[in-house]
Amino acid sequence: GENVEQHPSTLSVQEGDSAVIKCTYSDSASNYFPWYKQELGKGPQLIIDIRSNVGEKKDQRIAVTLNKTAKHFSLHITETQPEDSAVYFCAARTGANNLFFGTGTRLTVIP
Amino acid sequence: NAGVMQNPRHLVRRRGQEARLRCSPMKGHSHVYWYRQLPEEGLKFMVYLQKENIIDESGMPKERFSAEFPKEGPSILRIQQVVRGDSAAYFCASSLGTVRSNEQFFGPGTRLTVL
């Protein structure tokens, strides 16, 4: 099955700086890559996703890049704010079924 | 437009008891997924259901765990004879299930504690 690895496990940045989280996947058939933000005591919230026919996608301060050849994808958050502090999960999906999640990155934005 | 609903939010059971977790998908969604999250870990897929059908249960333990999604009512994840290792957060997600729109939206989770 699919194996998703995520780095770093923890990340601290100063408010206003950028944060980058990286993931790799193993199954070349994976074609959908969402990113979720999980705040303490809550369920994961979809923040951005990318499909395998696209190399980059941006939504305001959040962007995701995908390198199919290298089988890795990254989340970029610019101009970070304290409310961006949370645990972020990447995931990959083959076909139309279940998601395989990375182990999460705990992002702390220091005011 | 209500999102995915799960109840109870917190559930405490003693070893050997049964746990029943409920999930109501978003309006219009007919696909439901259950995931388990251990502390400080990512989510692990358990089972994928459509109305009255189990599509993929490859992530669910063979014993003590079962899931259903009846024609009417919520999806139920049932854990019989719970053990301490079952303590975790259980999340349900739902999707439209179409090729063009298969994003999964998650509920707030049920936190199961087994004493």
Per-residue pLDDT tens for B20-33?
999 999 998 989 99
Separation of alpha carbons B56 and B34, rounded Å? 11
CB pairs < 8 Å spanning A and B: 52
The DSSP bridge pattern shows strands A86-93 and A99-101 to be: antiparallel
Length of chain A: 111
pLDDT given at position A52: 84
Residues A91, A96, A100, CA angle at the centre, nearest 5°?
A: 25
The answer, yes or no, to whether residue B41 has pLDDT greater than 90, is: no
Contact B99 A96 (CB under 8 A): yes
Interchain CB contact of B107 with A (< 8 Å): yes
Q: Å from B79 to nearest chain A CA? A: 21
Specify the residue for token string 């997600």: B93
Q: Find the residue in B nearest to A89 (Cα).
A: B42
Contact A44 B45 (CB under 8 A): no
Q: What confidence tier does A96 reach under pLDDT thresholds 50, 70, 90?
A: low
Preceding peptide of B39 cis, ω within 30°: no
Residue type, A85: S
B102: closest CA among B42, B55, B38?
Answer: B55
Residues A103, A94, B35, CA angle at the centre, nearest 5°?
A: 45
pLDDT given at position A71: 95
Residue pLDDT, tens place only, B45-95: 999 999 889 999 999 999 999 999 999 999 999 999 999 999 999 999 999
pLDDT given at position A109: 97
pLDDT given at position B1: 53
The answer, yes or no, to whether residue B102 has pLDDT greater than 90, is: no
Residue pLDDT, tens place only, A37-89: 999 888 999 999 998 888 899 999 999 999 999 999 999 999 999 999 999 99
Separation of alpha carbons B12 and A16, rounded Å? 42
Q: Å from B41 to nearest chain A CA? A: 5
Q: What confidence tier does B99 reach under pLDDT thresholds 50, 70, 90?
A: low
Separation of alpha carbons B94 and B72, rounded Å? 16
Interchain CB contact of A72 with B (< 8 Å): no
- The pair phi, psi for residue A82, each rounded to 5°, is -55, -35
Residue type, A107: L
Residues B14, B87, B91, CA angle at the centre, nearest 5°?
A: 125
Residue type, A71: K
The answer, yes or no, to whether residue B36 has pLDDT greater than 90, is: yes
**In this structure, are residues B87 and A23 in contact, taking their beta carbons and an 8 Å threshold?**
no
Separation of alpha carbons A40 and B45, rounded Å? 20
**In this structure, are residues A74 and A20 in contact, taking their beta carbons and an 8 Å threshold?**
yes
- The pair phi, psi for residue A5, each rounded to 5°, is -115, 145
Mean pLDDT of the residues in chain B? 92
Any bridge partners for residue B23, and if so which?
B6, B75
Contact A46 B104 (CB under 8 A): yes
